[in-house]
Amino acid sequence: MKITQVEAIPFAIPYSKPLRFASGEVHTAEHVLVRVRTDDGIVGVAEAPPRPFTYGETQAGIIAVIESIFAPQLIGLSLVEREVAHERLNRTVGNPTAKSAIDMAMWDALGRSLDVSVTELLGGYTDRMQVSHMLGFDEPAAMVAEAEMMRDTHGITTFKVKVGRRPVSLDTAVVRALRENLGSGAELYVDGNRGWTAAESARAMKEMSDLDLLFAEELCPADDVLGRRWLVQQLDVPFIADESAVTPADVTREILGGSATALSIKTARTGFTGSQRTQHLAEGLGLEVVMGNQIDGQLGSLCSVAFGAAYRLTSHRAGELSNFLAMSDDLLAEPLRISDGELTVRPGSGLGAEIDPDKLRHYRSDR
Ligand code: MUC
Ligand code: MG
């Protein structure tokens, strides 16, 4: 179970529909496939999605940090020496998705070595999650049509609506149109990606107070410390910390400081090991948790559901697992399918993901 190689392979797959939100937009999945090989011939896989507008990483930067710093630090370590691996990775600040992809590929390799699924290794609570679909910025009619298509085709009835535009009525009109068209059975929540001020957020939430929202997420920046605390104290729905709460220390600061009351866990930025830590912390603090989406491809979405299904707290709410549906293609030999609004984990060992060699050859961007 000793690590012999850590590969970082860039690939690019266009989206058929770009995703737009307050802090950026994504047109092409320019991700990095990470493969961890061991001395007994096992290969673990995961993907790192660069999100320069959220974490400062780029595709070229992820490859450089893995090849020049992380791979040499890990070669020779056993797959079960995770604490040692993390101590070494954390000598370098930042680079959350590069570190997380390595961590998840190590867990995948461990599961394959032991012939146990990652979900069972982590907690084994269930084998599926309800899916929440994220709706990016568009005209109200187009966003309603997308939600109806997701409901009718995939059985999805929970929607996260991107907000944070100005004037706020651009977004509140969308949420109202969604509620009117989807009816009271749909679950709706909003994510501002720090686009509004605290005062704009308060005004928008008042305007939407009759729309039965489930949560509000990162409506304004956490660095607006007093403004955000003022906002969160007046809301009657949980306020989710997403990009402001990556590490256990971030979570503790945001929650104890009164700037958030719920948590988004994204395996793309905390891997399985870091996500375990924040999951346990959230349990101790009594927080609601939503499994978030870092605009993941199929492999990333499989990682999210593998983790989310492992625990009661993370599988209790619908997880954001459907962004891959907007990609024109993917790398998995057997594509993920959402049916009756659910995504299931793959049976078998590790993550159960096989990369299609022809697709990888076609989409990799280093040759
Ligand atoms: C989300 O929940 O915010 C958009 C930006 C980002 O960092 O993640 C996505 C989704
Ligand atoms: Mg978010």
Cα separation, 304 vs 55, whole angstroms: 18
Out of 3.40.640.10, 3.60.10.10, 3.30.390.10, 2.30.29.30, select the CATH number for domain 3-115+355-363.
3.30.390.10
Three-class HEC string of 298-322: HHHHHHHHHHHCCCHHHHCCCEECC
Coil, helix or strand for 10? strand
Closest CA to 266 of 208, 233, 308: 308
Residue whose tokens read 């673990």: 44
CATH architecture of 120-344: Alpha-Beta Barrel (3.20)
Residue whose tokens read 């492992």: 310
What's phi and psi for 158, nearest 5 deg?
A: -115, 130
Same fold, 3-115+355-363 and 120-344: no
Number of neighbouring beta carbons within 10 Å of residue 126: 17
Residues near ligand 1 (Cβ within 6 A): 21, 23, 51, 54, 191, 193, 242-243, 292-295
Q: How far is CA 48 from the centre of its chain?
A: 11
- The active-site residue out of 57, 200, 217, 296 is 217
Residue whose tokens read 């509620």: 179
**pTM for this predicted structure:** 0.98
What's phi and psi for 152, nearest 5 deg?
A: -75, -35
Instruction: Return the domain boundaries, the chain.
Output: 3-115+355-363, 120-344
Which helix (H) or strand (E) is 109 found in, with range? helix 96-114
Coil, helix or strand for 164? coil
Number of neighbouring beta carbons within 10 Å of residue 101: 33
- Specify whether 294 is catalytic: yes
What ipTM score was computed for the predicted complex, to two decimals?
Answer: 0.98
How far away, in angstroms, is 331 Cα from ligand 2 center? 25
Q: What is the pLDDT along the chain (367 residues), one digit of tens a residue?
A: 999 999 999 999 999 999 999 999 999 999 999 999 999 999 999 999 999 999 999 999 999 999 999 999 999 999 999 999 999 999 999 999 999 999 999 999 999 999 999 999 999 999 999 999 999 999 999 999 999 999 999 999 999 999 999 999 999 999 999 999 999 999 999 999 999 999 999 999 999 999 999 999 999 999 999 999 999 999 999 999 999 999 999 999 999 999 999 999 999 999 999 999 999 999 999 999 999 999 999 999 999 999 999 999 999 999 999 999 999 999 999 999 999 999 999 999 999 999 999 999 999 999 8
Cα separation, 120 vs 313, whole angstroms: 15
What atom in ligand 1 is closest to the CA of residue 294?
Answer: 8
Closest CA to 190 of 175, 203, 173: 175
What atom in ligand 1 is closest to the CA of residue 292?
Answer: 2
- The active-site residue out of 242, 243, 296, 342 is 242
Do the Cβ atoms of 11 and 34 come closer than 8 Å?
no
Q: And the tokens for 342? A: 């659910």
